A and B are shown apart, each in its own frame.
Chain A
Amino acid sequence: MTAERGEEIRNIIGIYHLSKRYNEKFALDDINLHVANGEFVFLVGPSGAGKSTLLKLIYMDDFPTEGQVIVGPFVSTQMKRSKVSLLRRKIGVVFQSFRLLYDRDVFENVAIAMRVTGESSYEIKKKVAQVLTQVGLYHKRNEMPSTLSGGEQQRIAIARAVVNSPAVLLADEPTGNLDPEVTEEILKLLFHINAGGTAVLMATHDLALVKQFGQRILFLRDGRLQEDKILGYKGDLSQRLERIQKDPGRFGPGWNPGTK
């Protein structure tokens, strides 16, 4: 796969000689990789491999000990704290524990991501209704999250993550708390979102799940990137690559971490 990638592919994420140490211990060790606009990538590895750490460094909740992370126009080594909020508006993040506001209803849980950007309540109503319909929960917009099932709660979290049309969606074990049937639903939703042009990077320790869907897979173990390959892909690889190459990306032309 790496050999097939040329300069013409626009990347949304570029990672260069990235290391992260916590008290002398490497959580990540010299990672190099790119994620293209509109790509779907699984990040697989056992518990403690560094998956969550890698995602954290991408949404810049923490910064590398060495090396560089580039997301669209945002460069980790030149990042000001005040700019992190602008990056977050271009990245959706979903966790295993759904991290919802349990004192707000479903609508407000999704709307919050638009409140921070200062959208009008008209815009908010329209867009939230649209994504809630997309995740199949529009009819539950006035309910409190605690009354919903785990799968439904995760779908609200996903709706919140994508309501600002992010360039990339990061999902850290999003199905870790869910039944197999619900897991499949959530994954279908993520693929559906990906089809709309949002790149998806999903971390999981469940290799069986990944094999079932087949995608580009990054294998992480002890903080090292061991493999980067396409596994069990059932469609036409060249078609897939073509779609990725044509994708203009959510940051617009001119930004390409891969060519920096």
Chain B
Amino acid sequence: MNWNQATYLMREAFRTMNRQRAVTIVSVAIMSLSLLILAVFLMITDNMMLLMDRSKDEMKLYVYLDDGLTNEQMNAAYNGIIRMEAVDELVFISKDEAFAEFRAQLGEESELLEALETNPLPASFRVSVKDVYKETATLETLASTIGRLDGVAEVNYGKEFIERFSSITHAVLYVDMVVGLIVILSSLFIIANTVHLAVVSRKETIEILKLVGATNRFITTPFFIEGAFQGGIAALISLAALSAIFGAGRNAVPGLVFFSPDKAVIFVLVCIAMGALGSLAALRRYLRIEIG
């Protein structure tokens, strides 16, 4: 295909859409709306993933030690933990430091602590884990391994919080897939339908094109352009609507973020590809007859 043909076919695609303008507008509108629903879900997921990532940064193990350990026993526990592959950083917090931290946290009410005769807080290690090991399952085995070391009283890592959060994220991802599937299938159907109408309305033209020596590619290209264009426009409209919703939602939910530019571009590209695929569905029968 040369430049003359490419520009001609581009014009033909827009000519067809213009000719059946009402059908084109309705199908783009319906598609924009369903893509908007998908985009809302994707944005919620995206935000949860970001939140999850950020909470992973804070993911630490708190290793509480038995009272009355000797320095040697504490050193042995320290060396036992630091040797572990998953451990990135290890900070020791003595009984006194823990008490001071606690006092600082209580602020004005710290007078209450004066009543205590002994320091009830244990000494502890704060264990940072390497990023690749920040999975619930890994943390669990790590915690139980550390828990079996001599002198360790208890290991804590916010298990419940992490599990609940990741199960919510999984549920949302599941909903995303279902909504995505429905939206993509219905968009494919809508595009296939408009392109099918365009093919039918151009039946005579197609016959004549074949008669004067048009290749199948020449005949089908405008329909692919039409589908891809409608998919792309619907994606842009749904993103614009999403950003309006986002503007309102940001006040209600602080910290809400919009799609990053690269994710928005991927969303549009996927919709363009989906549009071309919808055209292919409409042309499949035609192509099977003609190319055989």
Contact = CB atoms under 8 A, between A and B. Distances in A.
Interface of A: 59, 81-82, 85-89, 93, 99-101, 103, 112-113, 115-121, 160, 164
B209 interface: yes
B213 A115 contact: no
B208 A99 contact: yes
Size band of the B side of the interface?
Answer: 20 to 34
A92 B208 CA distance: 12
A61 to B, nearest CB: 8
Given A101-B205, A116-B209, A118-B2, A85 B290 contact: no
A113 B4 contact: no
Nearest to A87: B213
Interface string B167-198: 00000000000000000000000000000000
Interface in B78-98: none
Given A115-B4, A116-B214, 6 more contacts: A82-B215, A99-B208, A99-B211, A115-B8, A119-B4, A120-B4
A116 B218 contact: yes
B18 to A, nearest CB: 11
From B213, B215, B218, B291, residue with most partner A Cβ within 10 Å: B213
Contact of B207 (A99, A103, A121, A164): A99
Contacts of B213: 85-89, 113, 116-117, 164
B212 A113 contact: yes
Nearest to B15: A103
Interface of B is mostly: helix
Nearest to A124: B4
A120 B218 CA distance: 16
A113 B5 CA distance: 12
Contact of A88 (B1, B8, B205, B212): B212
B211 A88 contact: yes
B254 interface: no
A93 B213 CA distance: 11
A82 B216 CA distance: 8
B260 to A, nearest CB: 41
Interface of B: 1-2, 4-5, 8, 19, 204-205, 207-216, 218, 290-292
A88 to B, nearest CB: 4
Contacts of A103: 19
Which 7 pairs between the two chains have the least Cβ-Cβ distance?
A88-B213, A89-B213, A113-B212, A116-B214, A118-B2, A118-B5, A85-B215
Contacts of A121: 4
Given A81-B290, A118-B1, A88 B210 contact: yes
Contacts of B216: 82, 85
A75 to B, nearest CB: 18
10 contacts: A82-B215, A87-B213, A88-B211, A101-B204, A112-B208, A113-B212, A115-B5, A115-B8, A116-B209, A118-B2
A143 B292 CA distance: 38
Contact of A93 (B1, B5, B211): B211
B215 A116 contact: yes
Contacts of B212: 88-89, 112-113, 116, 160, 164
A89 B212 CA distance: 6
Nearest to A112: B212
A89 B204 CA distance: 19
A49 B45 CA distance: 71
A81 B5 contact: no
Contacts of A85: 210, 213-216, 218
A86 B213 CA distance: 6
A86 B215 CA distance: 8
Contacts of B218: 85, 116
A85 B219 CA distance: 11
Nearest to B211: A93
A117 B1 CA distance: 9
